[in-house]
């Protein structure tokens, strides 16, 4: 299968390295030099491409995803920091009868962590003595803070029924690939749930798994829908 990469930074390079293990031949690489404003995304460039994976910048991601939808190339969107435009991208994908998977976090472990967290939030929803915090740390080149993953975890806790304040904080330092922690604290005890990524490899492997899943499909999916069917 032929794969296009939109974004050739740290994630794009790792995807290129791992793609053959998932049966993909990287046939097209778009970066800021050949794709400013999404100009590299047109039918001629994408002849024979089965799927695209998008890990670029928050500023570029929406234009890239919308243009890929217009030429009906299934896309795995990995970039974070654009979620305020989620509905617009969903409409572009659905109205063009195209396909996309999105997630602020393609680690299988984080998606399991999120399920556990939702259950804890549901169980503590009616225990007012427990307050909650959410904290994350990433490397100092990460552009968005709080992380997209953190915002989604907190959103998921609210949907699970936890309506009290969740105090959120972020740090950016060094090379940390990504740690997310959520805690519940009462006078009697503390519950701490933490996910620690060891490297970017888990994100790249999840995105490649998603690309294999979305190739040949239609529709708009969140990554966990492709994992826990
Ligand atoms: N969902 C997940 O699991 C997950 C995991 C890791 C990272 N991320 C997110 O993925 C994104 C990329 O991460 P990264 O670590 O690879 O960042 P990075 O190393 O900064 O790479 C981003 C690349 O995108 C390029 N770019 C800029 N405009 C573009 C355009 N119009 N078309 C194509 N490429 C363009 C940048 O080029 P220039 O540097 O020349 O501008 C840069 O090389 C970030 O938003 C990050 O938060 C998500």
CATH of the domain at 180: 3.30.360.10
Is the same domain home to 102 and 115? no
- Average pLDDT over all residues of the chain: 96
Is the same domain home to 101 and 113? no
Three-state secondary structure along 125-165? CCCCCCEEEEEEEECCCCCCCCCHHHHHHHHHHHHCCCCCC
Is the same domain home to 101 and 8? yes
- Domain range for 67 is 2-106+201-227
pLDDT digits (tens, 9 = 90+) for 131-179: 999 999 999 999 889 999 999 999 999 999 999 999 999 999 999 999 9
Is the same domain home to 102 and 131? no
Alpha carbons 116 and 206: distance in angstroms, whole number? 19
Global pTM reads 0.90
Is the same domain home to 6 and 98? yes
* CA 177–ligand 1 middle distance (angstroms): 14
Ligand 1, residues at Cβ distance < 6 Å = 6-12, 30-32, 35-36, 55-58, 60, 64, 78-81, 103-106, 142, 200, 203
């Amino acid at each position: 299968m032929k794969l296009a990469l939109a974004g050739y930074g740290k994630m794009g390079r790792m995807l290129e390295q791992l793609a053959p293990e998932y049966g993909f031949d990287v046939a097209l690489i778009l970066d800021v030099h050949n794709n400013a404003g999404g100009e590299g995304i047109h039918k001629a460039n994408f002849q024979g491409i089965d799927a695209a994976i998008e890990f670029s910048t928050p500023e570029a991601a929406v234009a890239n995803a919308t243009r890929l939808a217009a030429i009906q190339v299934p896309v795995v969107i990995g970039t974070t920091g654009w979620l305020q435009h989620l509905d617009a991208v969903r409409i572009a994908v659905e109205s063009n009868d195209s396909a996309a998977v999105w997630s602020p976090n393609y680690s299988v472990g984080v998606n399991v962590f999120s399920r556990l967290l939702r259950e804890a939030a549901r169980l503590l929803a009616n225990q007012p003595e427990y307050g909650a915090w959410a904290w994350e740390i990433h490397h100092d080149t990460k552009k968005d803070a709080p992380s997209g993953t953190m915002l989604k975890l907190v959103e998921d806790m609210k949907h699970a029924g936890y309506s009290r304040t969740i105090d959120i904080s972020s740090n950016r330092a060094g090379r940390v690939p990504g740690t997310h922690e959520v805690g519940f604290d009462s006078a009697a005890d503390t519950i701490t749930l933490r996910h620690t990524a060891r490297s970017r490899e888990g994100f790249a492997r999840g995105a490649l798994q998603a690309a294999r899943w979305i190739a040949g499909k239609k529709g708009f999916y969140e990554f966990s829908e492709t994992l826990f069917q």
